[in-house]
Amino acid sequence: MLCAFNMYAQELPYSCNFDTQTSQDGWLYYEEGVEGVSDWNMSGGGFSAPNALTHDYNVGASTDDLMIDWMVSPSLITTGPISIELMVRQMGFSTPTDDNCELYMITGDPNPENGGAVFIANLSNPGPSATWIPQEFLFTSIVGEFRIAFRYKTLGAAWCTYAIDDISISLSTNIPNLEKKDVGENLMIYPNPVNDKFYVNGIDIFENPKLTLFDATGRTIENNIAVNHTNGSIDISNLKSGCYSLRIEDSIGRFATKSIFKL
């Protein structure tokens, strides 16, 4: 733990640039796996000087050392959909993996190891190395208290470092008040059951679709699921066998929910 925990949830808007003690207060640090030589720190080199939230690589680690470090925000409270904006920078000689740095949402217990973290976005390769890249995310499925969390993961001494700065979280005003239209009858999932990859026939009827995957209990497994632009496939090879639901929706009110059976 790096800082003292704020006892009361803060109302939105919330902003943090890690430059003052006030902006640093309330952030919590958690470790999983091996205890590496590097942690999340609030140090120099920020997009807006002088500081940013930074994580160096695990210098001198053995090749099988798995280090997973979390930095969790103060408790916040929302009455509706939220917009998250931030700056991110990736540096190093190693090629970023798919999960070097990720953004999560947490409700309840702030310790991610207790299972309350929901994936929001992959920050692992935001753009050209050593360049600050703006990121913006819309999260609609929450009302009440929450936290955001950054997860840094590395195996061995792979040199891939990250910095986060100028975080801004606010109530979103960009949610259109539209009548929802279920277009599920126009879509087909195949193959289903599926081993590793499946396709959605008819997804082109959506305008900038957002894909979310839920497990059989309704828990969010993954937000903003990536579709392979080469062949239109969706890879779920990392999931356990079982029943899942795929939710597809867009900005003009169309949606569809399809069941998927993973072998």
The pLDDT tens digits for 6-35 are 457 899 999 999 999 999 999 999 998 888
Cα(247)–Cα(211) distance, integer angstroms: 6
Q: What is the pLDDT, as a whole number, of residue 73?
A: 97
Q: Are residues 196 and 166 in the same domain?
A: no
Per-residue pLDDT band at 47 (split at 50, 70, 90): very high
Please write the tens of the pLDDT for every residue from 101-129. 999 999 889 999 887 788 888 898 888 89
Residue of 168, 150, 175, 221 lying closest to 47 (CA atoms): 168
Q: In percent, how much of the chain has pLDDT > 90?
A: 40
Question: Does any domain span residue 3?
Answer: no
Q: Are residues 120 and 188 in the same domain?
A: no
Cα(111)–Cα(44) distance, integer angstroms: 26
Please report, as a single letter, which amino acid is at residue 17.
Answer: N
Q: What is the pLDDT, as a whole number, of residue 174?
A: 65
Q: Are residues 14 and 134 in the same domain?
A: yes
Q: Are residues 196 and 164 in the same domain?
A: no
Report the range of poorest mean pLDDT among 28-37, 216-225, 233-242: 216-225
SS3 185: helix
The CATH number linked to 204 is 2.60.40
Whether the pLDDT of residue 130 is over 90: the answer is: yes
Question: Does any domain span residue 176?
Answer: no
Global pTM?
A: 0.67
SS3 23: helix
Q: What is the pLDDT, as a whole number, of residue 175?
A: 56
Per-residue pLDDT band at 4 (split at 50, 70, 90): very low
Write b or e for each residue in 153-190: b if 16 or more Cβ atoms lie within 10 A of its Cβ, otherwise e.
Answer: bbbbbbebbbbbbbbbbeebeeeeeeeeeebeeebebe
Question: Does any domain span residue 52?
Answer: yes
**Most confident segment among 53-67, 212-226, 232-246:** 53-67
153, 171, 189 - which closes a domain: 171
The CATH number linked to 127 is 2.60.120.200
Surface-to-core class of residue 142, CB atoms within 10 Å of its CB (0-12 exposed, 13-18 middle, 19+ buried): middle
Whether the pLDDT of residue 212 is over 80: the answer is: yes
Q: What is the pLDDT, as a whole number, of residue 204?
A: 81
Q: What is the pLDDT, as a whole number, of residue 125?
A: 84
Q: What is the pLDDT, as a whole number, of residue 3?
A: 37
Q: What is the pLDDT, as a whole number, of residue 1?
A: 34
Whether the pLDDT of residue 176 is over 70: the answer is: no
171, 206, 231 - which closes a domain: 171
DSSP H stretches of helix in the chain? 21-24
Pair 51, 23: CB distance under 8 Å: no
Quote the mean pLDDT of the chain: 86
Determine the average pLDDT of the residues in 34-44: 90
Question: Does any domain span residue 212?
Answer: yes
Q: In percent, how much of the chain has pLDDT > 70?
A: 92
Determine the average pLDDT of the residues in 189-195: 90
CA 107 to chain centre: 14
Output the six-digit token pair for 218. Answer: 């309704």
Per-residue pLDDT band at 5 (split at 50, 70, 90): very low
Q: What is the pLDDT, as a whole number, of residue 230?
A: 63
Residue of 219, 16, 19, 183 lying closest to 108 (CA atoms): 219
